[in-house]
Amino acid sequence: MDRSLRFDLEDVSSCRDEDEEKIEDALQVHQLEELCSKFSLHNPPPVPIKFGFGKNPVKWRRREPGLVNKEELRKMLSQVLPKGHKASSSRHADSLFAKLDTSCDGFVDWNELCTYVLLQLREKDLSDNAVAPPVHHSPKIKHLLHNRQESTTRILVAEAPLKYITVSKEGSVSVVDGKTLKLEKNTIMQNDISDANAPKRRFKQWVTDAAYLSNVRKFVLATTGRDLRFFDATSTSYNEEYAVYGLIDVPCCLHYETEIGKPSLPSTLMWGDDAGNIHLFTFLRPTNQLFDVVSRPGRGVTKLFFKDFNFHTSKFVSHRTIDAVHPEAVRRIAYISDSEYIVSSSSNPRSAVVVIDPHLKKKTYTFKLTKSIECFALSKVSNVLVTGGNDRIVRLWNPYVVSKPIAVLTGHAQAVLDVIVHDPLTLIFSYSRDAVVKVWDLREHICVQTINIHFTCVAYGRLPEHGPFPLRLHLGPPHDTLVVACNDYMAQIRLGRPPSASRYTRSSHSAPLAGARFNKQFNQVVSAAEDSSLAVWDVFTGRKLQFVRNTHGNEEVTSITTDSSGRRVATGARNGTVKIWSTQTAHQMHSLNRISDQEITGIVHLPTTRAFLTVGWSRRLTTYDDASVDTAQVSGHVWGYHNDDILAVSHSPPSLVATGSFDGEIVIWSLETEGLFARVRRPRPAGFGPPRTPSSRPASRRHRPQKSPLTPAYPAPVDALLFLQKRIQGRFRRYAATLVSTDSGLIYWWRIHGTPLLRGKHKSASSVKEVSLCLATDDENKYLISGDSAGYILIWNIENYLIDSTENKSKSPELYSSWLGHNRAVVSVDYAEIEDVGKFVVTASTDHLVGLWTLEGRAIGTFGQKGHWDLMKLKTWSNMEKEEENVSIAKEEERSEINELINPKNEEESVEEIKMHDTQEIKSASPLHPIETNNNEQDLLLPPRGSSMANYARSSTILGLRVERQLSKVTDDRATRRKTVESLNTSTAVRIGTVCCPYQALNTPSLVEADNTSLEYKLREISLATLKPASGGRKREGSRVSLHLPAIKGSRGPVLGRKSKTSISLT
């Protein structure tokens, strides 16, 4: 059992029976109506604001009707809810009042209560019915060589077995296997099927559209030669059977309508022509034959002249025309079987979409748009018409309401070429000209997923060529697929859940996290992401309570914090804006006037003055007074400055603020005087340190591993600051380390009272190539929590660390636990202690996840996962540690680099070790080559995710002896190859990826200059782990070891490529 938990595992079922149902969940409709009437009839008595003395009368303030305080709300709820109900207790009523009183004035009204309940129900419904992204596999791309570099007009789907029939612009028909995408058959449409005595056509015919006749297993092509070509798909030959030529106008689009499951019933082939007319071919007995003339095998194509048809006496086919539906060519056509309406579209804005009755007996609906419509799709289940066009907007319409759309979906960067509706998943797929597919939720009108298809034909800066119908949806079996055509390529996208989908795979946000904070007043977690989204989560279940999109428009959110009351949250953006939100209703309360357009890197709340303090790339400290509730715009007071951009900030109530900048300077400010309290560390001189590049921005530093500074003598950019408030209030504050900072993979401990002094420092990250980006501690300052850029969370026991002046500053604190929590950088950690439950850690990462863990590293779950957990029931917790047992050997070899020294002998040795690790490979990466340690040094081998450092023991056979030997051999071979070819100029030898052409091989030097000094230096650099004893067995002290190197020719150095070798003996 975890030591941080405070409940018994055998008696967890009855621990939260009283808390299972909240008031907002228990209220029914009739009870809300009763509450509404009580609020409207509530006439509160006046409140005394000044008591009288002697002859001075008492002054009263009249309360506004409808405003109730905590006691009055408690009384109302007890009258509305049934007696004895679990949610009717005073504790639940007080908790609800605290959530509603966002202004902290002690009163709430009906609008606040109603808004809160509605938002809670909406988020609960969204969480229960959330749509997961449908695409989890990379698209399969096929190059259609037989298209002859012409675009694909239409892709048809033939079932049993699944095959794709692609039709190119010039009439090349290719049959592709639906599973393997292998070409099975290709045929070329004849260019001219008119009378042989007629003159030859001067131009080739183009295919305008194609349709699959599913009930008779045939497909038809429409061409610019004013003809229809019917092909047989029952055999593997795919021969052309009928050719109906001599149509009045050019058919532009086709649609075939038949009743599913009843193939013998009449079916209709519809097409729209270039004159704006709609034609209907009705096949009366399609399973027998389509036309009066029978097409016999071996006799070629049966040619039928359109004007020779006698539709009045025909027993197999009839024809009808709807004239002048559009003033221009018909672009698309579809049929609504339920209401028997035909839907067609054109490029004319006056008749963009027309919904017309084929019998012309019902009302006609005409949709008018300023810009033309390129495509549309119908959802017969949801009764929705979806349109897309050149304005890059997807619109949702009621097919019978033309005044305004139901919803407008924006997000495409280029014109929308095609849309399609997936009714079983209630999703919309839209495809734009830049080869981007967007998936939209049909009910919530939000973008669920964006898929960039990397076609080979798509060149940078140029838009690819597309046919008029690039999308095709196939609904199983074996699974639903979306097929996309681009130029002479096709892509198959598999839809549905991945094979290994579980309840723990959903992300918390759709973008990298900017931070997450624990709200201890309401046991909630507030998180913000770089896509300008804000979310509020319930800690006990992991359920999403509130969600806000576009909090700062299109700007990235870079910082987040909550106030001391837990009712408000402040977010800062990259453009310098700061906004205040309600954590319970997700409404914007204030917008703080920005002083510059520079990025906000930190926000802290000042509870004593009820204000927010912001820092950032403006290099200034700005205080915003947040005491006024009715003020929408709040002005700031600018004071204090740095010579470089401020990256970190921390507050110590009541009056101290610490800031750290890019030049390494750490300053402590006094809020009372708004002046300098102490300068903890001075900045580095100008010209030293890392260069100023866009990658040095705080948001960019989270996404890439950081290295130690090039000049360790000067400070590096400060990544995080943290005050130890309990120590500041204690009696040892004059001697204890009360400020913690981290940069370049080290944690520094500072004494701030008296003369600022560095009390100690130690390594903070899981590897020398990583840095700690965030710090947190508990209220008693017993634990120090950090997260690094590799995804590790480390917790130290600092209860007695650097308290008095006699403690050894070179000693590192005890590592309490450590685990791999995320796949990418951890940007935020926070300590969460819940009364009568336990102690936990909240983490946020750039892998889009917000996690909840115990202090021992056991995973509870990811906020936003499909299955909710119960914090009091361990069987509902995530089992993420089992997933880590399946890590590949390559991953384990990469993690083995984490094994390093954590306790240096002194400060100088710590700096020297960092220098050496930047230029040498750590030989202790393999468990077979541990680091030799003494009494003052110990190894740090971080365990897998979910493992406790306290219970984790190192073993020489963690992966098995055979695997470890293989890893050791691979490591040694790599080191040997690097030493052999380290003098080669890789920029000359390999200039294009990893391909070496003969020209590059000729430029590779065959001889390398090497003098005796450089050779001796290289021999000293070689680690003993790469040396092989001449006599075999383990190397002992004083034994002779043979090292085989390439033969040395005079003083010219080793000759590369020679087989002869020289043996050098070392003692």
Please state whether beta strands 240-245 and 302-305 pair in parallel, antiparallel, or not at all (unpaired). Answer: parallel
Residue with tokens 């300052």, as numbered in its chain: 781
Q: In this predicted structure, what is the pLDDT of residue 558? A: 92
Element (DSSP H or E) covering residue 474: strand 471-474
- How does pLDDT run across 219-238, given as a tens digit for each residue? 999 999 999 999 998 888 88
Give the separation between CA 671 and CA 621, rounded to whole angstroms.
11
Segment holding 27, helix H or strand E: none
What pLDDT shows up at residue 43? 80
Listed in order, the ranges of the chain carrying CATH 1.10.238 are 9-128
User: Mean pLDDT for the chain?
Assistant: 77
**Choice between 484 and 89, residue whose per-residue pLDDT is larger:** 484
Burial of 15 (0-12, 13-18, 19+ CB in 10 A): middle
> Is residue 962 scored above 60 in pLDDT?
no
Is there a contact between 358 and 315 (Cβ–Cβ < 8 Å)?
no
Please tell me which residue, 133 or 710, carries the higher pLDDT value: 133
pLDDT at residue 721, rounded to an integer: 94
Whether the predicted pLDDT of 780 surpasses 50: yes
- Give the chain's count of helices (H) and strands (E): 14, 65
Round to whole Å and give the CA distance between 880 and 888.
16
pLDDT at residue 335 in the model: 92
φ, ψ (nearest 5 deg) of residue 87: -85, 0
CA-nearest of 827, 849, 661, 649 to 739 is: 649
- Higher pLDDT residue, 991 or 608? 608
Q: What is the C-alpha to C-alpha distance for residues 333 and 325, in angstroms, rounded to an integer? A: 11
Of residues 476 and 555, more confidence is placed in 555
The set of residues, in sequence order, having a beta carbon less than 8 Å from that of 811 and lying 6+ positions away, is: 760, 903
Q: CATH assignment of 9-128, given 3.20.20, 1.10.238, 1.10.3470, 1.20.1050?
A: 1.10.238
Average pLDDT over residues 895-923: 39
Whether the predicted pLDDT of 1066 surpasses 80: no
Summarize the confidence of residues 975-996 as an average pLDDT: 48
State the amino acid at position 844 in one-letter form. Answer: A
In this prediction, residues 302-331 reach a mean pLDDT of 90
Please report the pLDDT score of residue 96 as a whole number.
80
- For range 53-68, the mean pLDDT: 72
pLDDT for 474 beyond 70: yes
Cα(782)–Cα(797) distance, rounded to whole angstroms?
6
Q: Which residue carries 């080559």 as its tokens?
A: 929
Alpha-carbon distance of 521 to 245, in angstroms, equals 78
Query: Is there a contact between 210 and 220 (Cβ–Cβ < 8 Å)?
Result: yes
pLDDT-derived band at 338 (thresholds 50, 70, 90) equals: confident
pLDDT at 13 over 80: no
Q: What confidence category does residue 516 fall into, taking pLDDT thresholds of 50, 70 and 90? A: very high
| 106-142 pLDDT per residue, tens | 788 888 888 778 777 776 666 666 667 888 888 999 9
Give the distance from CA 432 to its chain's centroid.
22
DSSP 1053: -
Residue, of 316 and 462, whose pLDDT is higher: 316
CA distance 143 to 153: 15
3-state SS, one letter per residue, for 573-618: ECCCCEEEEECCCCCEEEEECCCCCCCEEEEEEECCCCEEEEEECC
Q: What is the pLDDT of residue 84?
A: 65
Instruction: Write down the pLDDT at residue 887.
Output: 36
User: For residue 690, what pLDDT is reported?
Assistant: 55
d(CA 171, CA 193): 13
Lowest mean pLDDT among 25-29, 260-264, 466-470, 777-781: 25-29
Please say if the pLDDT value at position 166 is more than 80. Answer: yes
Average pLDDT over residues 177-193: 85
Comparing CA positions, the residue from 198, 194, 191, 146 lying closest to residue 172 is 146
pLDDT for the residue 23: 72
Structure tokens at 356: 């017309």
Cβ-based neighbour number of residue 158 at 10 Å? 20
pLDDT score at 792 = 92
- Cis peptide leading into residue 161 (ω within 30°): yes
Query: Which two tokens mark 144?
Result: 């259609």
Give the HSE-up count for residue 326: Cα atoms under 13 Å, Cβ half-sphere: 32
% helix, strand, coil for the chain, step of 5: 15, 35, 50
- What region does 674 belong to: left with phi over 0, alpha with psi -120 to 50, or beta? left
Contact between 126 and 535 (Cβ < 8 Å): no
Of residues 811 and 771, more confidence is placed in 771
Whole-number Å distance between alpha carbons of 769 and 510: 28
Residues of the chain with CATH 2.130.10.10: 140-494
User: How far is residue 747's CA from residue 797's CA, in Å, rounded to a whole number?
Assistant: 14
CA 9 from centre of chain: 35
Pick the closest to residue 174 from 424, 489, 545, 503 (CA basis).
489
Q: How far apart are CA 267 and CA 290, in angstroms?
A: 10
Q: Domain 140-494 is classified in which CATH homologous superfamily?
A: YVTN repeat-like/Quinoprotein amine dehydrogenase (2.130.10.10)
CA atoms within 13 A on the CB side of 249: 18
pLDDT of residue 85: 67
DSSP letters of 353-392? EEEE-TTS-S--EEE--SS-EEEEEEETTTTEEEEEETTS
